[in-house]
Structure 1
Amino acid sequence: MTSHPLETLLTGAVNDAVEYVLDGARTWRFDLNSPDVDSDERATVGTKLQYRVLAALDLIKEPPLDTTILGIAVELKGTVRTNWMIPREGQCQICLLIQVDAKNDRHQVLLMRTHRIWLNRGNGDQKRNIMADAIRTYALPVLPWTPLPRNPLKLLTSEQKAVVFNLKEGIKRRLTALFGYLPEVVIPRITIETVGANRKDAARRAREAKFDVYTQHGLVVLMGTWIPQQELAARHGFDLSGEAWVAIRPETLGTDFEVAKAMSFATSQRT
């Protein structure tokens, strides 16, 4: 088993599954509860979760259930709803239950033996959900409600979203607006790619926008791709790991302002 903290591993697995289904870099989507995501597609998060949890915890998929942990067969079940549908083979077995609350950007993980006496009447394919009282009484918390990374696009007002996703405008102009609307908010790479969906040059356009962000909004953009910028941002409390970005106010940077500005503009035109 890996030595990384369980919370970090499971949170990363859940977030990856959600981002995979949203596929923002092709669809412009960033909210699992959006009307643009149909219910069948939303339900596939649970399936994607299974494989990402296995990978995150260095487990292998093997019968008789989904995997084996310390010699015990375990069923992995994920849901974006309020309950889990337990298949026939998982009933009366140890289940690792992962719940994603996309509305509140959080998730929890429970461990429970799903005895049939604690399950509601089944559907046509013999899947059965768990009685709420049984979950409260018998499920053991592996990870309590834990925050998921919130896509910064959710922070925009309706008017701001209309500007950022106005496809009649170029990516550079729309990204300039995005940074201006969200000063000192760390913006992950997937957000840049979502704004520039279906274009291969979104990151380059973001670099080119740095000067406009400064002249129009008075903000200095730093990006995690460049280690010196990542380290400078970290000194001021911004984690740019994973090639994230942030637009910082001069007063926050203080005496580092001129250094940050020079770093930012020096890489603004590189590809």
Structure 2
Amino acid sequence: MPRPLKPALAKPGDECVSDHSGPPHAISHPADDHDLQQVLTWLESRPVEQLMTVAVVEAIEYVLDGARTFRFDLESPEVDSDERRTVGVKLQYRILEAFGLPKERPLDTTILGVPVELKATIGGNWAIPREGQCQICLLTQVDAKNDRYRTFLMRTHRRWLNEGKNQDSKRTIRADARDAYAIPVVAWTPLPRNPLKDLTPEQVAVVFEPRVGIKRRVTALFGFLPEVVIPRVAIETVAAMAKDPLRRARQAKPDIFFNHDLVVLMGTWTPQRELAAEHGFDLSGDAWVAVRPETLGADLAAAKAMMDRTDS
């Protein structure tokens, strides 16, 4: 039996009524929606991409909790679907914190006195609750597989939502309505990629071998990823559950040098951070990198002396 045709998309000027409450109202074009434009102007007056990127990264790292779970990939089968959905919940609070917004009814927050619903998904659509229908929503989509995210601002009119609903009476947004009437706030933007995701399965088995010490695991990590900036969160994940994991990881520096002819530079120390920057490596956020001596324009002995000299 053929699938019934989807109703034509409602247009500005058409009548709409929410499942939640309230009288019928006319749909406005986003350009003519005063409250929506106020919220958009407020967002655009801030470094929205920078703030949103930090919020998304922190929400993902919170759920993975690598320093206690050894996990580094949201797409891993070790992360169950309930946990993945939790990213959206955590992201709401990270957005409030990043933008200095209150947690305030009737929705999630208010911007210039306008109620705003914060919705996030790691899938292809957002589940809009009944109280969010016909309201202004800040919509964030996280694509963990491709290490990117994007954000829209949209008044989610009931007639721009799909007919089907889940057990909580939430409805998803019609793709044609999103494409026509959602305002891009942040276009697809890359997220910092955890380099642990670039290890082969065989390399992962070595780096996370439970029967060997942290020094050997960290030594293997940098041997597999020479001249790749390793963020602090990745090092803490490899050294998960250890007391003072970064101190334990630092103890691997001589082994990395002697086993792999690599000089480890650490963002913790200003001279090393500056030396790394001279050669194109950004060690902000206490990141590390294992560099070949020839990259530093030195032979092996000179490179080691350079590392020792800046190791403070």
The TM-score range, normalised by the shorter chain, is: over 0.9
Give the aligned residue type for 2:176: D
CA contact (8 A) 1:17 1:48 kept: yes
1:70 deviates by 2.8
Partner SS for 1:19: helix
Partner SS for 1:103: helix
User: Normalising by the residue count of structure 1, what TM-score does the alignment of the two structures yield?
Assistant: 0.94
1:227 deviates by 1.2
Instruction: Say whether residues 1:81 and 2:123 are aligned partners.
Output: yes
CA contact (8 A) 2:261 2:300 kept: no
CA contact (8 A) 2:226 2:262 kept: yes
> Residue in 1 aligned with 2:68?
26
Instruction: Say whether residues 1:188 and 2:260 are aligned partners.
Output: no
Q: d(CA) in 2 for partners of 1:180 and 1:126?
A: 52
> Residue in 1 aligned with 2:201?
158
Larger Rg: 2
Partner SS for 2:139: strand
> Residue in 2 aligned with 1:131?
174
> Residue in 2 aligned with 1:221?
264
Unaligned runs of 5+ in 1: none
Partner SS for 2:297: helix
Q: d(CA) in 2 for partners of 1:158 and 1:264?
A: 31
Instruction: Say whether residues 1:101 and 2:101 are aligned partners.
Output: no
Q: d(CA) in 2 for partners of 1:26 and 1:176?
A: 20
Aligned equivalent of 1:113, options 150, 155, 160: 155
Partner SS for 2:218: helix
Q: Against the structure 1 CA distance between its residues 234 and 259, is the aligned structure 2 distance closer, same or farther, given a 3 Å change threshold?
A: farther
Unaligned runs of 5+ in 2: 1-41
Q: Against the structure 1 CA distance between its residues 62 and 258, is the aligned structure 2 distance closer, same or farther, given a 3 Å change threshold?
A: farther
Q: Against the structure 1 CA distance between its residues 215 and 5, is the aligned structure 2 distance closer, same or farther, given a 3 Å change threshold?
A: same
1:68 deviates by 1.6
Q: Against the structure 1 CA distance between its residues 256 and 111, is the aligned structure 2 distance closer, same or farther, given a 3 Å change threshold?
A: farther
Moved more, 37-46 or 225-234: 225-234
1:9 deviates by 1.2
> Residue in 2 aligned with 1:53?
95
> Residue in 1 aligned with 2:249?
206
Moved more, 258-267 or 109-118: 258-267
1:133 deviates by 1.1
Q: d(CA) in 2 for partners of 1:77 and 1:8?
A: 18
Q: How does 1:5-24 map to 2 (within 5 A)?
A: 5-24=47-66
Aligned residue pairs total 269
Q: d(CA) in 1 for partners of 2:97 and 2:251?
A: 36
CA deviation string 1:65-115 (max 9, x = no partner):
111223321110011010000111111011000010000000000111100
Q: d(CA) in 1 for partners of 2:52 and 2:305?
A: 38
Q: d(CA) in 2 for partners of 1:125 and 1:5?
A: 35
Q: Against the structure 1 CA distance between its residues 65 and 14, is the aligned structure 2 distance closer, same or farther, given a 3 Å change threshold?
A: same
Q: d(CA) in 2 for partners of 1:75 and 1:257?
A: 57
Q: d(CA) in 2 for partners of 1:125 and 1:201?
A: 44
Q: d(CA) in 1 for partners of 2:155 and 2:113?
A: 15
CA contact (8 A) 2:96 2:102 kept: yes
Q: d(CA) in 1 for partners of 2:301 and 2:99?
A: 44
> Residue in 1 aligned with 2:86?
44
> Residue in 2 aligned with 1:149?
192
> Residue in 1 aligned with 2:288?
245
Partner SS for 1:241: coil
